[in-house]
Chains A and B, each alone.
Chain A
């Protein structure tokens, strides 16, 4: 997949160009070594050019790089090619890129029993970043010809075939394979390749499956994703999906082949690159981290929590149909208008809002120019983030790698009540990324969007990726860790501060928590916050540390138990400490006119917007 040029030695790399071809925007960053340290020098962006008349992803890359050229006043391109290595002040020593410009991956999955292998297959596909169009199983209530019709009509990009535990009945797996062959599925994106099919079922049936499917589709056989009822092994299936996705779906994004020829490093999918950076951060700072990257078409959620053995375990989910431009109308469809409107502090009529969301969908690169538009987009973002987080929690259900053990009864009740490994009280740091968070005009807006969407509990640090370069740094870290790490710390991660949210509920105005913040070069601040209110307390600036001490009232818990105080030394940040006494478990927004009044009061307290809207 990569070009022919060798990767230069790290010590020979002084100037790096890195791009991320998103589904909406292509972002380019220039990193240079100055006084012994790698720093971000300039950033450019341009619309991703999959749309006619360009229909070539490299045009967007070149446009973004030209913007960087203009900003730094030096030549990086030689015509329509990125100039490497650097010669007489022109060009760069290394070019790397990530891409999510292939759009969504649409999959059908199948298992023998809907609630067993069907669900495992679904988890594998969702975890690999797919939209699951439908799940076919022998007990799905459909007749065989209905299943065949479905397979034909939906025209998935890929099919994941699973079913049976190893050593189980071969016949029923073969039945599903026969169904697939009878449907004669074709590809969605052109006729130049066979439909990719991943088989991750009963290994005893692999031979029969091969015999049946190989003449008709590009089959890849991997280890069973449910080798035993109480054991789930999703990784091989996910990796195979990922590999076929790169080979088949992304390779059909116009211009992708040329893009790969420009870089000596394999083009990395955007979510994989962001995940690398999040994982690195969690390990380094010994924190449970929740990361989110909200894009135009998809929203990725990453989490790193301690596993059963205490070792950090990384989970990633990709909500392929939740995003702020291409998928914005799907956020409306999934969340419901009332859920979006509950975050908007002014009356909006349904018809106007629907039209506004649709217009963003059909013209995905536009940006809000007026404040009302910005508030509505941020309301939609809260819902997209909330839904993506819900999907993540539902999927990160004890998936502790290859040897995930479950009892049979747990496996049977999994969809009803599988305990998520994502513990909101355990989260030490929430990192947000993606245009609507990274480009929020005020940092506090990004902080509150994340708080509203995830509802962290106790004390949680907040940060954003300053200008959304975690993808570029992620791919760079695979070949130049020092450069990636230095730029990540100095130029990428922006510490916002923290949120303190007592668990519990009460009457509005009832005493809830007393908080004190102290730090170097600042007078200690103490504030008593009532239930239903929010407060913003200063913290030392980023780079310095402060101490937060809080005493919850009886009935409220900050993680140490009801009414028990907590104290922690935390890094400062540009926003400060948000005290969120709006309640947890449950969190409830007021209704009707009281809702608008409360939202406005919170916005005023946090100085969220330049004027009241």
Chain B
């Protein structure tokens, strides 16, 4: 009977942190199994094919596409420098001679006698993949990348923006219910992963960016401020590649929502420690949630606890994730088998949650809670 729910996001003090670090195209791996790596260490390198310039030789030289090979002055496959002659026509007795020069450095990839087009490939663009998380290389994917493993704490957020980054954790507010205001941010937060409480404003994000903060982790954000940050309304929830000057991870959602005690305590207990952060979120195929990874300082051999993935049961700790009790955490005290009528008159599978602060017992649709792993 416990199927109508989704497991909560992971907030785990000790788990195996395995991250695949893969090149977008084949290249060379620079480390070996057993190597200790830091987040900034380059583990694999490759080259992306350079930009392409297409040059319409036929029209520029006023010849038939089929005649283009004859007017070429450089062979397909040869390197050229910007300004170097690519092709020319002789003209009549040497007059009205037309020529085309290379617009950039590169090499001639192809020339088509169908279209009369020359494709000039600019020099390759180097691409590097770093380790992202401090740990040990446990596997090498030949020519493609590595798997880095560490042990430590993992905090999954619900939504984020911005790519991978890292820095030492710094608490900028004094409680999980506090707002991260611009005044909370100081120059010493530069390069840090700054933890706010219930809410971060656009002004605070701008201040953080100005100071060079690596990442901001907070409970909530107003969607209007997200729009200001991105410069547009986000349609589909696929993020991670936006260039907004810092990485943002929301642990709870949109609006002013107190950061869960578990997330707050986990981050607070690790202030000053190095954390790797990614804002990449994808709520479609291949679901991806933003994350904060905090490797243990020692290599650690303590057993890693497997996260609870079992169903909902009496006594389960859950968080309500929709109005009217949004954000409250409590214990499941009843799991009625039959459908119950909600205020909307919809019949739904429900549970009864008791909130510890005031002892209140409320009916909540099972779809509107998430389990908190213990």
Contacts and interface: CB of A to CB of B under 8 A. Distances in A.
Nearest to B55: A144
A178 B6 contact: no
Contacts of A172: 115
Interface stretch (B34-42, B261-269, B363-371): B363-371
Nearest to A63: B3
B255 A178 contact: no
Interface string B224-253: 101000000111110000000000000001
B255 A359 contact: yes
B223 interface: yes
Contact of B51 (A145, A171, A175, A610): A145
Interface residues of A, number: 75
Q: Which residue of B6, B281, B289, B370 has the most chain A CB atoms within 10 A of its CB atom? A: B6
B361 to A, nearest CB: 15
A51 B284 CA distance: 8
Contact of B323 (A171, A174, A351, A370): A370
Contacts of B142: none
Contacts of B322: 359, 363, 366-369, 373
B1 interface: yes
A333 B367 contact: no
B316 to A, nearest CB: 16
Contacts of B285: 50, 102-103, 189, 249, 252-253
B107 to A, nearest CB: 13
B109 A439 contact: no
- Interface of A, helix, strand, loop or mixed by DSSP: helix
Contacts of B116: 171
A369 B326 CA distance: 11
Interface string B50-67: 011110000000000100
B367 A365 contact: yes
Contact of A327 (B24, B236, B344, B367): B236
Interface of B: 1, 3-7, 24-25, 49, 51-54, 65, 109-110, 112, 114-117, 119, 121, 158-159, 220, 222-224, 226, 233-237, 253-255, 281, 283-287, 289, 307, 309, 321-324, 326, 342-346, 348, 364-365, 367-368, 370
A401 interface: no
Contacts of B49: 184
21 contacts: A47-B3, A47-B367, A52-B289, A67-B1, A171-B116, A186-B24, A189-B285, A326-B283, A327-B235, A329-B233, A329-B235, A329-B237, A351-B224, A355-B253, A355-B255, A358-B253, A362-B283, A364-B283, A365-B6, A369-B364, A370-B343
- Interface of B, helix, strand, loop or mixed by DSSP: loop
Contacts of B237: 326, 329, 361-362
Listed from nearest, the 5 A-B pairs whose CB atoms lie closest are A441-B345, A354-B223, A330-B235, A355-B254, A103-B285
A47 B5 contact: yes
Given A252-B285, A371-B343, A357 B112 contact: no
Interface string A280-294: 000000000000000
Nearest to A177: B115
A474 B344 CA distance: 31
A89 interface: no
Contact of A354 (B224, B284, B307, B326): B224
Contacts of A103: 284-285
A182 interface: yes
A406 to B, nearest CB: 30
A507 B198 CA distance: 51
B334 to A, nearest CB: 16
B52 A373 contact: no
B255 A326 contact: no
B365 A326 contact: no
A610 B368 CA distance: 22
Given A182-B52, A333-B235, A175 B115 contact: yes
Contact of A326 (B51, B284, B344): B284
Given A175-B117, A352-B255, 20 more contacts: A51-B6, A102-B285, A103-B284, A149-B51, A178-B112, A182-B52, A297-B284, A326-B237, A329-B236, A359-B255, A363-B6, A363-B158, A363-B253, A365-B6, A366-B322, A366-B367, A368-B344, A369-B323, A373-B322, A373-B323
B115 A171 contact: yes
Contacts of A184: 49
Q: Which residue of B49, B117, B158 has the most chain A CB atoms within 10 A of its CB atom? A: B117
A359 B119 contact: no
B340 to A, nearest CB: 11
A170 interface: yes
Interface in A11-54: 23, 45-47, 50-54
